[in-house]
C-alpha cells in the first residue's frame, strides 16, 4: 500500500510541473499585465515601467518561471503581484475558508444523496423514484448563480419579511459579529444549500444505479430467500456493497471542490480559493495562480488516492498494488 501511494505521488509531480509551465505561459502571454493593473489610474507614465521592474516582469519568461519555482520549492511563495500580500498566507487562509464550505457541503450532500439513492433504488420506477429523478435532472441543469440569487431572495429577504425579524434567519453574507454554532450555520446554510444541489443531483444518481445493481444480485436474492427482512437486506448488505461507487465519486469531487467554488463564494461574498483564483486571473497575478494551482492539484491527487484506498477498504476483493 505504501509503495502504491508513493508511486502515485511520484507520478503526479511531472503532471503538476507540466501544468504549471502551461499555466504560467498562458497567463503571461494572454492574461492581464500586473503592472498595468497596478498603474491603471496613475497619471504618471513611468508608473508601469517602475512596477514591471519591481515585479521582475522584464526578465525573460523562462527566467521568471525558474526563479518562481526555485523560490517555491524552498518554501518562499513570494508576494501577490497585485496586493503585495504573502501568497502563503493568502492560500492558507482561503484554503481554510473553502475547507469549511466543502466539508459541510459534502457531508450534507453525501447524506442526502445516499438517502435519495437508496430510496429510489429500493422502489424503482415508483412515483417517488420519478420525482427524485426529475429533481436530480433539474438540479444538474440549474445554473448555480441563478439558484444562489433565488435562495438569497426567498430564504433570506422574503423569509425575513414574512417573519418580521430585524435580521434574516439565513445570512446572505458572512456575519463578522456572529458567534457560536447557531450563527455559524446561519451563515453557511445558503452556500451549503447552493453547493449541494448539483452534488446531490449527481451523487444520488450514482447511488441509485449502483444500489439497483446490488439489489438485483444473486446474493441478495439468496439473503431474501433465507428469510432476511427487506430492510436488513437493503441497509445491511445492499448499501455496504453499493457504496464503493459513491465513495469514489465523492472523493474525486471533493478534491475538485477546493478549486471550483468560485460562483458560490462570490454570490455569498465569502473568501476562499475560488475567489482568490478569480482575483488572481483578473489581475494576471501569476505569483498567486501558480502556487494556487499546485496546491489544488496536490489536493486533487490526494483525494484521488483517498478514493483508491477507500475503494479497497469497502471492497476487500480489491487489492492495491
Partner 1 sequence: MRGRSTRFAVFTCAIVVALVGASVAAAAPSRVPQQAASGTIRIAAEEEPTCADWIASCAGSSWGNWALGNLTLPQALNVNADGEYVPGAILVDLPTLEPGPPMKVTYRIRPEAVWSDGEPITSKDFEYTWKQVVTSKDIYDTTGYIDIESIDTSDPTTAVVTFSKPVALWRDLFGGFYFLLPSHLLEGKSRSKAMKDGYAFSAGPWKLDGGKAGWKKGKTITLVPNGAFWGTKPSIGKAIFQFIPESSAELEAVKTGQVVAAYPLPIDGALDQLDESPSLTYTVSFGNQYDGFWINAKAFPLDSKSVRQAVAYATDRQVIVDQILRPAIRQGRVLQSFIVPTFRQFYVPAFEEYTPQPDRVDELMTGDGWKKGSDGIWAKGGKKASFEINSTAGNESRALTEQIWQSQLRESGFDLKIKNLNSDVLFGSRLPKGQYDVALYASVGTPDPGLCTIFCSNNIPSKKNKNVGNNTTWTNDPTIDRTWSAVDTTLEDAARVTDTQEGQAALAEYVASIPLYQAPEIFIYNHDRLGGNLQDNVVMGPFFTMNEWVLK
Binding site for partner 1 (CB under 8 A): 30-33, 35-36, 38-51, 53-55, 82-85, 89-90, 93-94, 96-97, 100, 103-104, 107, 149, 152-153, 156-157, 160, 166-168, 171-181, 184, 266-269, 271-272, 275-276, 284
Residue 79 phi, psi dihedral angles, 5° rounding: -120, 150
CB of 130 to partner 1, least distance (A): 31
Q: In angstroms, what is the minimal distance from the CB of 32 to partner 1?
A: 5
**Which residue's CB is nearer to partner 1, number 8 or number 36?**
36
Radius of gyration of the chain (CA): 24
Closest to partner 1 by CB, 132 or 268: 268
C-beta closer to partner 1: residue 137 or 235: 235
Q: Which position has the grid cell 471550483?
A: 260
CB of 111 to partner 1, least distance (A): 10
Closest CB to partner 1 among 11 and 53? 53
| Sequence-ordered alpha helix ranges (H) in the chain | 2-30, 34-39, 47-55, 61-73, 87-122, 127-141, 144-151, 159-163, 180-215, 218-225, 230-232, 239-257, 262-267, 273-282, 286-314
Closest CA to 74 of 58, 59, 84, 88: 88
In angstroms, what is the minimal distance from the CB of 131 to partner 1? 29
Minimal distance, residue 198 CB to partner 1, in Å = 20
Query: Residue 139: how many CB atoms within 10 A of its CB?
Result: 19
Which DSSP letter does residue 79 get?
Answer: B
Rounded Cα distance, 37 and 91, in Å: 21
C-alpha torsion angle, residues 214, 216, 221, 224 (rounded to 10): 70
Q: How far is the CB of 135 from partner 1 (least distance, A)?
A: 26
Cβ proximity to partner 1: between 259 and 272 the closer is: 272
Q: Which is closer to partner 1, CB of 67 or CB of 269?
A: 269
Amino acid at each position: 500500500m505504501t509503495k502504491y501511494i508513493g508511486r502515485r505521488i511520484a507520478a503526479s509531480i511531472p503532471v503538476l510541473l507540466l501544468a504549471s509551465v502551461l499555466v504560467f505561459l498562458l497567463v503571461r502571454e494572454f492574461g492581464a499585465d500586473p503592472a498595468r493593473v497596478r498603474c491603471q489610474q496613475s497619471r504618471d507614465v513611468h508608473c508601469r515601467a517602475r512596477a514591471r521592474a519591481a515585479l521582475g516582469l522584464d526578465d525573460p519568461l523562462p527566467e521568471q518561471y525558474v526563479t518562481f519555482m526555485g523560490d517555491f520549492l524552498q518554501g518562499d511563495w513570494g508576494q501577490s503581484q497585485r496586493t503585495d500580500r504573502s501568497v502563503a498566507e493568502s492560500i492558507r487562509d482561503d484554503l481554510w475558508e473553502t475547507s469549511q464550505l466543502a466539508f459541510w457541503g459534502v457531508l450534507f450532500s453525501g447524506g442526502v444523496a445516499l438517502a435519495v439513492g437508496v430510496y429510489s433504488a429500493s422502489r424503482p420506477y415508483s412515483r417517488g423514484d420519478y420525482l427524485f429523478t426529475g429533481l436530480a435532472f433539474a438540479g444538474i441543469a440549474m445554473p448555480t448563480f441563478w439558484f444562489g440569487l433565488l435562495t438569497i431572495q426567498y430564504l433570506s429577504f422574503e423569509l425575513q419579511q414574512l417573519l418580521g425579524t430585524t435580521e434574516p434567519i439565513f445570512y446572505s453574507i458572512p456575519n463578522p459579529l456572529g458567534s457560536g454554532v447557531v450563527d455559524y450555520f446561519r451563515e453557511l446554510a445558503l452556500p451549503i444549500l447552493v453547493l449541494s444541489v448539483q452534488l446531490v443531483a449527481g451523487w444520488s444518481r450514482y447511488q441509485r444505479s449502483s444500489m439497483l445493481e446490488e439489489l438485483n444480485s444473486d446474493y441478495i436474492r439468496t439473503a431474501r430467500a433465507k428469510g432476511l427482512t427487506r430492510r436488513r437486506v437493503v441497509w445491511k448488505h445492499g448499501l455496504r456493497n453499493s457504496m464503493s461507487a459513491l465513495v469514489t465519486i465523492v472523493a474525486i469531487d471533493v478534491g475538485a471542490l477546493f478549486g471550483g467554488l468560485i460562483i458560490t463564494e462570490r454570490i455569498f461574498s465569502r473568501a476562499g480559493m475560488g475567489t482568490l483564483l478569480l482575483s488572481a486571473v483578473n489581475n494576471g497575478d501569476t505569483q498567486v495562480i501558480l502556487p494556487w494551482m499546485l496546491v489544488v492539484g496536490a489536493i486533487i491527487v490526494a483525494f484521488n488516492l483517498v478514493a483508491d484506498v477507500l475503494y479497497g477498504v469497502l471492497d476487500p476483493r480489491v487489492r492495491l498494488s
